[in-house]
A and B are shown apart, each in its own frame.
Chain A
Amino acid sequence: MLTEDLQTNTQTLQNMLGKNPDVVLRRLIIHDAAKEAAMIYIEGLVDKREIHEQILMPLMKPGTENTEGNMENKQVKQWLITEAIPVSTVQPVQRVEECMQAIFVGNTVLLVQGIAEAFVIGTSNWETRPSEEPITEALIRGPREGFVESIHKNTAIIRRKIKDQNLVFLPYKVGRRSQKDLYVVYIKEIANQALVDDVKSRVERIDIDAVEESGYVEQLIEENYLSPFPQTQNTERPDRVVQALLEGRVAILLDGTPFVLLAPVTFPMLMSSPEDYYERWIPGSLIRLLRYIAVFISLFLPALYISFISYNHGMIPTKLAISISASREGVPFPSIVEAFIMEVTVEILREAGIRLPKTIGQAVGIVGALVIGQAAVEAGIVSPITVIVVSLTAISSFSFPQYGAAIAIRIMRFSMMIAASFLGLFGVILMSIFLIAHLVKLKSFGVSYLAPFAPIYLRDWKDGLLRLPFFTLRKRTRITKPKDSTRR
Chain B
Amino acid sequence: MRHRHEKRWAFLFVWVLVITGCWDRTEIEDIGIVTGIAIDQPEKKDKQGKDSKKFDLTHNIVIPQASAGKSAGSKKAYANVTTKTESVFEGIRHVSTITGNSPSYEYLKVLAISEEIARTYNLQELLNFFLRNTEARRTVKVVIVQGKAKNVLNKRPIIENNPAVNLSDIVENSKKVIQITPEVTLGDVSKQLTSKRNLVIPRVMVVKDKAQMSGAAVIKGKNAKMIGTLTPEEVGGLNLLRGEVKNGVVKGKMAKGKFIVFEVDRIQHQIKSEVKKEKVGFTLQINVKGKLREDNVMAEDDFDEKFLHEAERVIQNQLEKLTQRTLRKTQKELKVDVIGCGKKLGIQDHQVWKEYEQNWDEAFSRMPVKVNIQVTITEFGTKGRERIKK
- B and A form one assembly: yes
Cross-chain contact A327 with B18 (CB below 8 angstroms): no
With a cutoff of 8 Å between Cβ atoms, the chain A residues found around residue B29 in the complex are 325, 328-329, 331
Task: Select one of B17, B25, B68, B109 contacting A430, CB under 8 A.
Answer: B17
A430 CA to B62 CA in the complex, in Å? 33
Q: Is A381 an interface residue (CB 8 A)?
A: no
Q: A422-B17, A423-B17 are in contact. Are A325 and B33 (CB under 8 A)?
A: yes
Task: Select one of A323, A326, A334 contacting B27, CB under 8 A.
Answer: A334
Interface positions of B from 1 to 48, Cβ below 8 Å from A: 17-18, 21-22, 24-29, 31, 33, 35
With a cutoff of 8 Å between Cβ atoms, the chain A residues found around residue B137 in the complex are 314
Q: A322-B62, A422-B22 are in contact. Are A309 and B28 (CB under 8 A)?
A: yes
Interface positions of A from 422 to 441, Cβ below 8 Å from B: 422-424, 427, 430
- Complex: chain A residue closest to B136, CB-CB: A314
A326 CA to B69 CA in the complex, in Å? 7
With a cutoff of 8 Å between Cβ atoms, the chain A residues found around residue B104 in the complex are 313-314
Cross-chain contact B64 with A322 (CB below 8 angstroms): yes
Cross-chain contact A325 with B28 (CB below 8 angstroms): yes
Interface positions of B from 113 to 141, Cβ below 8 Å from A: 135, 137
- Complex: chain A residue closest to B109, CB-CB: A318
Cross-chain contact A422 with B21 (CB below 8 angstroms): yes
User: Of A310, A323, A424, which is in contact with the most chain B CB atoms at under 10 Å from its CB?
Assistant: A310
Q: Is A321 an interface residue (CB 8 A)?
A: yes
A321 CA to B29 CA in the complex, in Å? 9
Q: Is A335 an interface residue (CB 8 A)?
A: yes
Cross-chain contact A323 with B68 (CB below 8 angstroms): yes
A316 CA to B104 CA in the complex, in Å? 13
Interface positions of A from 419 to 475, Cβ below 8 Å from B: 421-424, 427, 430
Cross-chain contact A313 with B31 (CB below 8 angstroms): yes
User: Of B62, B64, B65, which is in contact with the most chain A CB atoms at under 10 Å from its CB?
Assistant: B64
A286 to chain B, nearest CB (A): 35
Q: Is A292 an interface residue (CB 8 A)?
A: no
Q: A318-B107, A322-B67, A329-B65 are in contact. Are A422 and B33 (CB under 8 A)?
A: no
Cross-chain contact A309 with B17 (CB below 8 angstroms): no
A23 CA to B139 CA in the complex, in Å? 87
Q: Is B106 an interface residue (CB 8 A)?
A: yes
Q: Is B284 an interface residue (CB 8 A)?
A: no
Q: Is B79 an interface residue (CB 8 A)?
A: no
B80 to chain A, nearest CB (A): 16
Task: Select one of B25, B33, B65 contacting A321, CB under 8 A.
Answer: B33
A423 CA to B26 CA in the complex, in Å? 12
- Complex: chain A residue closest to B32, CB-CB: A325
With a cutoff of 8 Å between Cβ atoms, the chain A residues found around residue B35 in the complex are 318
Cross-chain contact B27 with A335 (CB below 8 angstroms): yes
B160 to chain A, nearest CB (A): 10
Q: Is B165 an interface residue (CB 8 A)?
A: yes
- Complex: chain B residue closest to A309, CB-CB: B28
Cross-chain contact B106 with A313 (CB below 8 angstroms): yes
With a cutoff of 8 Å between Cβ atoms, the chain B residues found around residue A424 in the complex are 24-25
Cross-chain contact A329 with B64 (CB below 8 angstroms): yes
A460 CA to B94 CA in the complex, in Å? 61
Interface positions of A from 301 to 346, Cβ below 8 Å from B: 308-311, 313-314, 316, 318-319, 321-329, 331, 334-335
- Complex: chain B residue closest to A383, CB-CB: B29
Cross-chain contact B165 with A318 (CB below 8 angstroms): yes
A313 CA to B106 CA in the complex, in Å? 7
Cross-chain contact B27 with A309 (CB below 8 angstroms): yes
A322 CA to B33 CA in the complex, in Å? 8
A142 CA to B26 CA in the complex, in Å? 51
User: Of B27, B106, B135, which is in contact with the most chain A CB atoms at under 10 Å from its CB?
Assistant: B27
Cross-chain contact B67 with A326 (CB below 8 angstroms): yes
Cross-chain contact B106 with A314 (CB below 8 angstroms): yes
User: Of A308, A314, A424, which is in contact with the most chain B CB atoms at under 10 Å from its CB?
Assistant: A314
A334 CA to B26 CA in the complex, in Å? 9
**A-B contact sample (15 more), CB < 8 A, given A322-B62, A326-B65, A427-B21:** A311-B25, A313-B107, A318-B109, A318-B165, A321-B28, A321-B33, A322-B64, A322-B68, A325-B31, A325-B62, A329-B65, A334-B27, A421-B21, A421-B22, A427-B17
Leading 6 A-B pairs by shortest Cβ distance: A422-B21, A314-B106, A326-B64, A326-B68, A323-B68, A325-B64
List residues of A whose CB falls within 8 A of some B CB: 308-311, 313-314, 316, 318-319, 321-329, 331, 334-335, 421-424, 427, 430
